[in-house]
Structure 1
Amino acid sequence: MEEAAAGEKLDVVLFPWLAFGHLIPYLELAKRLAARGHAVTFVSTPRNVARLPPVPAQLAPRLRLVALPPPAVEGLPEGAESTADVPPEKNELIKKAVDGLAAPFAAFLADAVARGRRPDWIVIDFCHNWLPAIADEHGVPCAVFQIVPAAMVAFCGSRSANAAHPRTTPEDFTVPPKWCASFPSAIAYRRHEADWVAGMFNPNASGVSDMDRLWEITERTRFTIYRSSDEIDPAGAGVFALLTDLYQKPAIPAGVLLQPELDGRDDDESRSGARPEVLQWLDSQPPKSVIYVALGSEAPLTASDLHELALGLEVAGVRFLWAFRKPSGMSAPGTDVGELLPTGFEDRTQGHGLVWTGWVPQVRVLAHGAVGAFLTHCGWGSTIEGLVYGHPLVMLPFVVDQGLIARAMAERRVGVEVARDESDGSFGRDDVAAAVRRVMVEEEGKVFSTNAKKLKQVLGDQRRQDQYMDELEGYLTRYKDNNSS
């Protein structure tokens, strides 16, 4: 901290997993470090770099984007460089593609060192289990940046914790693990989610399990950074001490990495002067009358899910803006959105509902005065965005950390989870309508709204968010010359 305050500047390389739910928060961390005067290199592949939001002009001298040549992987379509480019069942092949980046990254690092630009740090994601060995050859320390909440990593547990308390069936994941005694009992996976979580412990098409990757990386790096904070993490403030004890490495919250005044400046409107059509539509709606519906770009939705969600919005009778993304497997060329929705749905909801298939500036939508609630898949980034703007949540989780997040936010009474069949995860229109009306129409909704606004005030404490970055900056400065891992 004192060294950082005295003006010591760092050279940091960030290398995220090839998924936009990871690329964007890594870019946000890169921007915050660059804004503090540090030199930052953001590494990915050509197509991903091209699809990133532009770097703000004032940060461009200190933040450079480097594209490594992607490897050819059997089974991956040409040009598939992220999970957004493939259906969920091919995500394992993206992990093989990440492994194929080892040689290009080694060449990039060797060249940087040869040019006298040896990084002070390399910050990596859960999947880069091969990278610490390359970094060690050049004496460069590594840290991990986890974009999931700390509760997810604590729930998965360390290698030693799992050896001491093995979980052998999916049902074992429907309760908090023994090392998470402080977790509320509700913060666990549903039976229909547990198969996915249990699968993280099994080798996939890359030949390595996700958990083995995570364990190896955590064991070989100096510390772990989390996109989280004491105020918002599903497991609460004590989770960082728990993780420090579990992994015997510091667990460092970086804050939410989303301050309203720092986001939304590089969109179409600021570049061209044209106001996006979805914002124009919102301009014509009454205050707090619209529920914004967005389930991310990779939610494993079925045709039945889409129909029941649509009909649930119709039955609920509220105004809605739906950021509609064609699910993988339903994106064949020529497929019209109308074919994926119930017959006549758009006609029946015209005037009070908008299904939008183009680009949606989500942060600016959530900041709009017409939006009164957020129907979300509970991806961590989307959840943070919704709560930073004080919106109560209607929650429809699917995979990864989403179920844990939904349970925690329901415990905090900032929203409700759509009721689902415990065994297969199916839901119906009446389940959607009931959850939407509880938040948007019924008296109970005032409680959710009040609690969400209280959390907005906490997350909007800029001094506290800056303090998290101060503490992270201090760790990066102090630990870079400590050669013990």
Structure 2
Amino acid sequence: MGANGGAGAGDDDASATAVSPALHIVMFPWLAFGHLIPFLELAKLLAARGHAVITFLSTPRNLSRLGAAAAIPPELSAFVRLVSFPLPEVDGLPEGAESTADVPPEKVELLKKAFDGLAAPFAAFLAAAAAGDEESNHNPFSRKPDWVVVDFANVWAPPIARGEHGVPCAWFSIYSAAALAFFGPRSAYEAHPRGEPEDFMSPPPWIPFPSALAFRRHEAEWIAAAYRPNASGVSDVGRIWQVQDGCDVILYRSCPDVEGPDICGLLDDLYHKPVVPTGLLLPPPSAAAADSDSDGLIRWLDDQPERSVIYVALGTEAPVTSSDVHELALGLELSGARFLWALRGDGERWLPEGYMTRLAGRGHVASGWVPQVRVLCHVAVGAFLTHCGWGSTVESLRFGGLPLVMLPFITDQGLIARAMADRGLGVEVERKDDGSFGMDAVAAAVRRVMSAEEDGKVFARNAREMKEKLGDGARQERYVDELAELLRRHCRSWS
């Protein structure tokens, strides 16, 4: 392609990289902040190293709430371009809903239907971009894109990019390597079909080494449903397969440092194409700026003894019920531990009567925004009770070095919990077959992880060692550099 045409055919990769202008990469994440944020972080890292200029696509409200313009440092503003597509209206989708944070879980499939309506504006955008001046060095955004990086939901993007304009595609999976290995590609499913909940309650046959990767009964029922078409007309797994089939490279937000070389090393052979780690894509702790609304919360932490507090946060989209809040509250009380609980929305109404009066001084419940990275880094925090969303999990390990009390709910969270427990980083709250849990199970898990006895010491030591490993900034940067070089080499093969 013209963007990479500066080197002669006989030049080696290093000299080609030196004289070639930055790649022009179009990035188009799914409409969820757990996807938008790592996509934007990868965009900034690629641009900051001079590897690429990025056209970042989303809807107007998502770009505004993401603070995308503000999140891009001034020195990168000339290298990351934001382009918005209005989201089409769909019957049953609430007015103004543009992300999974705007809808209850049962309406996310309607959001996917609306997202499919962006195929036409994407096609028009790419047609105009593909007609650009491929040799332009004055305005890199006027060049034909070198890559389109898509999410699991953009099933229509690879046929438009690759099929109509000869632009190679990469799927950026924000999920863990464990999830990629467990679900596998379409070819693995065809060789070993799965569809019933029981099929997901043991490791798949294509994992050739002993593994703890499996879903519990209540999780497996949710996973089996992902193989069936929803209101968008396509199953979630069907979307993933179509995107995988249409992409030349798979990127994933992880690395062997956190998940181990066995599971990461399996992926290339399993998918029959390059499967490349991006690293964790976490901003530095200094990016967690102070906020006056959370000053009281931080002052409360300042008054607590070192490593005495368990931080409790279940994300923004876990389907937490009133019973869950009630049992979790009583379990925290029973555990005897100090706690800081980020209880979203109006969840406080589900707390037991008189709860905060009884726990005054020992527990702090925050219903507003909580600066999670600042909390995880605080010396008073000794453990993290988490839903095992991948972003929260790696933030805890990277910034806090905290052992985990794990309470997974949906998607790949159960697999993450199994994988982290297998690495000695924490324990799960025991659940019944129907997915319910009680206060005794919560208290037992919290006590075990926060204990000063041997178990607690082992979890804390393992978490600290993981923090040291993940704190190797040069190593994390190298993942991005190696990814950029692979994209450049592969792009030249399309020339």
CA distance in 1: counterparts of 2:37 and 2:396, whole angstroms:
16
- Summarize deviations over 1:236-279 as a string: whole Å, max 9, x none: 313344222222110101111125xx34426354xxx8863322
Q: Write the distance in 2 (CA, Å) between the matches of 1:316 and 1:266.
A: 30
SS in 1 for 2:276: strand
Match of 1:208 in 2: 234
Taking a change above 3 Å as real, the CA distance of residues 463 and 471 of structure 1, as seen in their structure-2 partners, is same
Equivalent residue in structure 1 for 2:177, among 150, 156, 176: 150
Identity %: 59
**Match of 2:4?**
none
**Cα shift readout 1:216-250 (whole Å, capped 9, x = no counterpart):** 111111110010101212xx313344222222110
Code of the aligned partner of 1:29: L
1:415 aligns with 2:404: no
Alignment pair present for 1:16 and 2:16: no
Q: Which shows bigger deviation, 290-299 or 174-183?
A: 174-183
Whether 2:383 is the aligned partner of 1:373: answer yes
**1:253 and 2:263 are equivalent in the alignment:** no
| Residue 26 (structure 1) aligns with | 39
SS at match of 2:76: coil
Looking at structure 2, the residues matched to 325 and 369 of structure 1 have their Cα atoms a distance apart, in angstroms, of 24
Q: 1:342 aligns with which of 312, 330, 352?
A: 352
What SS does the corresponding residue of 1:372 show, helix, strand or coil?
strand
- For 1:313, give the aligned amino acid: L
**Deviation string, structure 1 residues 370-393 (Cα, Å, up to 9, x no partner):** 111100000111100011121000
The structure 2 residue matched to 1:36, chosen from 15, 34, 49, is 49
Give how far 1:398 is off: 0.7
Q: Which amino acid aligns with 1:315?
A: L
Q: 2:64 aligns to what?
A: 50
Report the alpha carbon displacement of residue 211 of structure 1 after superposing the two structures with TM.
1.5
Q: TM-score, normalised by structure 2?
A: 0.90
Alpha-carbon spacing, 1:467–1:6, altered in 2? closer, same or farther (3 Å): farther
Taking structure 1 as reference, are residues 60 and 275 closer, same or farther at Cα in structure 2, changes over 3 Å only?
farther
Write 1 or 2 for the structure with the bigger share of helix: 2
Measure, in 1, the Cα distance between the counterparts of 2:452 and 2:374: 26
Matches within 5 A, 1:385-464: 385-388=395-398, 389-421=400-432, 423-443=433-453, 444-464=455-475
Label 1:183 to 1:87 Cα distance change in 2 as closer, same or farther (>3 A).
farther
Q: Distance in 2 between matches of 1:431 and 1:5?
A: 57
TM-score, normalization: structure 1? 0.92
Asked if structure 1 preserves the Cα contact closer than 8 Å seen for 2:403 and 2:426, the reply is: yes
Contact 2:171 2:247 in 1 (8 A): yes
AA aligned opposite 1:383:
T
Distance between the aligned counterparts of 2:110 and 2:415, measured in 1? 26
Match in the other structure for 1:322 = 341
Match of 2:145 in 1: 119
Deviations 1:434-485 (A, max 9, x none): 111111134121110000001111111122112211110111111113239x
Q: Which residue number in structure 2 is paired with residue 267 of structure 1?
A: 289
Q: Work out the CA distance in 1 between the residues paired with 2:435 and 2:102.
A: 25
Partner of 1:138: 165
Structure 1 distance, partners of 2:424, 2:267, is: 26
Deviations 1:422-444 (A, max 9, x none): x2011001110111111113412
Aligned residue number for residue 294 of structure 1: 313
Residue 107 of structure 1 and its aligned partner are, at CA, apart by 2.1
SS in 2 for 1:480: helix
Whether the 8 Å contact between 2:325 and 2:347 is mirrored in structure 1 is no
Q: Which amino acid aligns with 1:124?
A: V
Post-superposition CA distance 1:329-360 (Å, at most 9, x none): xxxxxxx5442211111111121211111111
How many residue pairs match? The answer is 466
Per the alignment, residue 169 of structure 1 pairs with: 196
Helix, strand or coil: the match of 1:322?
Answer: strand
Rounded Cα–Cα distance in structure 2 between residues aligned with 1:48 and 1:264:
24
Contiguous gaps of at least 5 residues in structure 1: 327-335
For 1:150, the aligned partner's letter is: A
Q: Which runs of 5+ in 2 are unaligned?
A: 1-12, 134-141
Task: State the alpha-carbon separation in 2 of the partners of residues 294 and 125 from structure 1.
Answer: 26
Q: Which amino acid counterpart does residue 295 of structure 1 have in structure 2? A: L
Q: Partners of 2:150 and 2:348 in 1: how far apart?
A: 41
In 2, the alpha carbon distance for the partners of 1:263 and 1:9 equals: 28
Q: CA 1:101–1:267 in 2, change beyond 3 Å: closer, same or farther?
A: farther
Q: 1:92 touches 1:206 (CA, 8 Å); kept in 2?
A: yes
In structure 2, the CA distance between the partners of 1:82 and 1:275, relative to structure 1 (3 Å rule), is closer
**1:191 counterpart = 2:217:** yes
The question of whether the paired residues in 2 share the 8 Å contact of 1:289 and 1:372 is answered with: yes
- AA aligned to 1:265 is A
Distance in structure 1 (CA, Å) of the matches to 2:450 and 2:368? 26
Q: Which residue does 1:221 correspond to in 2?
A: 247
